[in-house]
Structure formats: C-alpha cells, structure tokens
C-alpha cells in the first residue's frame, strides 16, 4: 500500500464522534481546541439537515465544544450547493426544517408548490401526510427528486424515528422515482466540504462512527479514514464490510496528538 501524505486537514462527523446523546465524548473538547490553536483546516459534518450551522454552533457551545459556524457543514448546505451548481435560481418544493429552507433561500431558490424544478426532501420532526402527498404528485408531474441524506432512522429519547431515507423510500414506492441523495456516503458531500476549506483529499482525513456512511464517504473521496468506537459501528462489525477504515481507534481522544 502506498504511503499516504501527512494529514493537513480534518473532517469529522458530529454525532457519535464529538458528542453522544447530547453529551460530549471525552477528548472531543481537546481535539477541537487543538485544531483551532494549530490553525489546522477542519470541518464538522452532519447528515442531519434540521439545523442551520448557527443552530449547531449554539448546541455544541452549550456542551463545551467551540466550533465556529464556518467550520460546520451539513447535508442541507451540500444539497443547496449542488442545486445551485445544477440549476441556479431554480424553484423547489421542500419538506424539511430551517436548516434546509435557509440553505435554499441563501442560494436564491424560490420555495413553491407550483411546478417546482425539484422536490427536496430533508429531515423534519413531523412528516406531514399532506406534504408527502403533494411531493408525490409533483414528482409524478415531472419535478426532479432530491434528498439530503439516505439515513433510514434517527435517534430520539423514546427510540428510533423514521428519517429521510425511510420517507424517501415511501415516495419512491409511490412514484417509481428514486432520489439523488447528496449527503454521506455520497463523496460529493465530502468533496464540497473539502473545497469549502481549501483542502485536498490526499492530505485530509475523515473521522466517523459509521462504516456505512462516514468511512465509505471518506474512502470514496480519497481520504484517510478513522473509525471511532463511540457511536454506531462496533469493533466486531468492521470485518463484515467489504472495505476497511485506515485506522480504528477507541475514541477521538486517541487522535488529538495526530494534529500537527
């Protein structure tokens, strides 16, 4: 195996890496502090499209993690950037919350239910049957189908919740149209994030807690990958996948000293 270049930039997932069920993972504060003090380019990524970067900055600050707004990259931002490149100044019917609607407004998109260019599906706490019916009819009438991420379930205090991927499957069943998923594991989200901080894949690393999204996305984007065992994927599950992370570590605390 060819030796990789030194890591100059870091991308890291949020839930399961920096925090778990609203509590910071031990070592996460030291990792973020080291990144900021060293001036190392970095991004905190999330497939969750509910929140704006400003919302996420506030949530992280409350648990002692000082991540600037400019260092937060969401599937909503990646989806908006993708649409801006594909069809600038377009129109969309959106199922989602402020993270997604704000991102689309910021690129100049008009949100409408009248002959939109796209139906854009994101995360929301309350999926409306009326909104889903409208989305199905618009797609049947020719609107293109985009979804922020393929995650099928999300966590809650009461247990698993249906997430974007599950709802997208419902719409696909009703329309015969599969969405284009912009978020992880699509390497497009990683590459757009790297571009946002002026980084290159050959000198960047991705830290995640999931083999099926974080590690796969980092691998397909050409990055060095670190799997931490503080989230979804457990050590015994790694060998079940046809690909491997570059390195498996117990937690992000093990990576603080890797920051130059």
**Residues with catalytic roles:** 13, 15
**Nearest alpha-carbon partner for 73 in 187, 156, 221, 197:** 197
For residue 195 the two structure tokens come to 């571009």
Classify residue 244 as left (phi > 0), alpha (psi -120 to 50) or beta: beta
**Nearest alpha-carbon partner for 122 in 169, 75, 69:** 75
Classify residue 222 as left (phi > 0), alpha (psi -120 to 50) or beta: left
> Alpha-carbon distance 117 to 160, whole Å?
32
> Alpha-carbon distance 94 to 216, whole Å?
28
Please report how the helices 75-86 and 187-196 are oriented relative to each other, as an axis angle in degrees rounded to 10.
90
**Nearest alpha-carbon partner for 250 in 21, 28, 7, 14:** 28
């Amino acid at each position: 195996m060819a030796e990789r270049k030194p890591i100059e930039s870091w991308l890291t997932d949020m839930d399961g890496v920096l925090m778990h069920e609203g509590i910071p993972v031990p070592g996460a504060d030291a990792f973020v502090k080291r990144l900021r003090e060293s001036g190392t380019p970095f991004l905190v990524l999330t497939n969750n499209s509910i929140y704006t970067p400003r919302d996420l900055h506030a949530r992280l600050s409350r648990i002692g993690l000082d991540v600037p707004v400019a260092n937060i990259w969401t599937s909503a931002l990646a989806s908006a950037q993708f649409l801006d490149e594909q069809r600038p100044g377009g129109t969309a019917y959106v199922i989602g919350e402020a993270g997604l609607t704000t991102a689309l407004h910021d690129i100049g998109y008009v949100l409408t239910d009248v002959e939109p260019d796209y139906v854009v599906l994101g995360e929301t706490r309350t999926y409306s049957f009326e909104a889903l019916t409208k989305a199905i009819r618009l797609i049947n009438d020719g609107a293109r189908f985009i979804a922020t991420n393929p995650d099928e379930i999300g966590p809650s205090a009461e247990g698993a919740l249906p997430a974007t991927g599950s709802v997208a499957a419902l719409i696909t069943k009703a329309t015969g149209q599969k969405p284009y998923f912009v978020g992880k594991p699509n390497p497009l989200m990683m590459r757009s994030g790297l571009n946002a901080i002026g980084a290159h894949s050959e000198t960047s690393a991705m830290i995640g807690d999931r083999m099926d999204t974080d590690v796969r996305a980092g691998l397909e984007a050409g990055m060095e990958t670190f799997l931490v065992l503080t989230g979804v994927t457990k050590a015994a599950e790694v060998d079940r996948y046809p690909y491997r992370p570059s390195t498996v570590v117990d937690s992000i605390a093990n990576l603080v000293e890797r920051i130059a």
